Structures are given as structure tokens and as C-alpha cells.
Amino acid sequence: MTSDRTERAVAAAVLAARDLGLDVERGEVLHDVFSVVVHLVPEPVVARVPVVLTAGT
């Protein structure tokens, strides 16, 4: 089960990669603490998406 914040980060990484011309099928979360680190499958690319936590989260 992933959080909404994580799902949005993965979606942003995949969209950005596709906009740059990469052939990305999906994003796989490698690390999710202060930033979300996503492997952009099947490319040999990893993206880091910084996330901001709001008060109370």
C-alpha cells in the first residue's frame, strides 16, 4: 500500500521522463522517506522526487 503522496511522485517522475522522450512503462519505488526515488522501468534511469510534508502529515 502506497500513500497518495508517493503515487503522485511516481506519476510525476513517469510523466517527466515520457515528456523527455524516454520509453517508460512504469515507475518502481526504490526509496520513500523524505524524497521518493523511482526506477523508470525499463530505462536505466532513476529519478528523485522531493516531497514536502504539510503540518499534520
* Confidence check: pLDDT of 12 > 80: yes
C-alpha cell at 56: 499534520
Q: Give residue 21's pLDDT.
A: 98
Model-level pTM? Answer: 0.87
Cell of 38: 523511482
**If pLDDT is split at 50, 70 and 90, which confidence band does 55 have?**
confident
Question: Is the separation of the CB atoms in 51 and 34 below 8 Å?
Answer: yes
19 and 12 in contact (C-beta within 8 Å)? no
User: 10 with 22: CB under 8 angstroms?
Assistant: no
Q: How confident is the model at residue 52 (pLDDT cuts 50, 70, 90)?
A: confident
